[in-house]
Amino acid sequence: MKRTLLAVLACCFTWPIASASEDVDPAKRALIDELLEVTGALEIGSSMADALVTQMSDTLRRVNDPLPERAFELLEEEIIATINDAVERGTFNKIMYPIYDKYLTSDDLASLLEFYRSDVGRRFTKVLPQMTQESMLAGQQWGIEIGTEAAERVEKRLAAEGIEITD
């Protein structure tokens, strides 16, 4: 059981750690910190925690004899605490510095901060999670429709060329 839990945790918490964050100018890091705060990006921990709890719970249910419900409550509490602690320590910001530095100038960051502090920017930040969720669902539906259409077209094209595909 202990090995299984450690393996699941290792898989779920594996993400690249950017060591290049020290190379980012401190003034630019401050702008990035502010942008992450203003946009609500630091609240990503709660959605990440939800996804990890679901993923780990599903995995543990598949690979273990039935566990008491209390095990899943503890799992959720500890994942949330771990992610919150990591965000508080600034580890999320640290991995974001090189990415933001790569794609955005200090002037870009200042302009974005100006936008996100405006009324429309604050409104956008407020509705973005719902828009993202709805967009993902719409994209999935669109993908299903397009996938079906593409499969039909490929079948017809292959048949026209005399190529048979067996199931």
Q: What is the pLDDT of residues 48-64, one digit of tens each?
A: 788 888 888 888 888 87
Does residue 8 belong to any structural domain of this protein?
no
Residue 41 has pLDDT above 50, yes or no: yes
d(CA 76, CA 149): 41
Would residue 11 count as lying in a domain? no
* pLDDT tops 90 at residue 2: no
**Other C-beta atoms lying within 10 Å of the C-beta of residue 60:** 17
Give 165's pLDDT tier (boundaries 50, 70, 90).
Answer: confident
- Same structural domain, 105 and 164: no
Inter-residue contact 60 to 8 (CB < 8 Å) = yes
Residue 9 falls within a domain, yes or no?
no
pLDDT tier at 10, thresholds 50, 70, 90:
low
Band of residue 131 on the pLDDT scale cut at 50, 70, 90: very high
Range of the domain at 48: 18-117
Looking at the chain, list the stretches that DSSP marks H as alpha helix, in order from N- to C-terminal side. 2-12, 26-39, 44-63, 69-88, 91-103, 106-117, 119-160
Residue 38: is its pLDDT beyond 50?
Answer: yes
- Please indicate, yes or no, whether residues 34 and 71 belong to a single structural domain of this protein: yes
Residues 103 and 157 in one domain: no
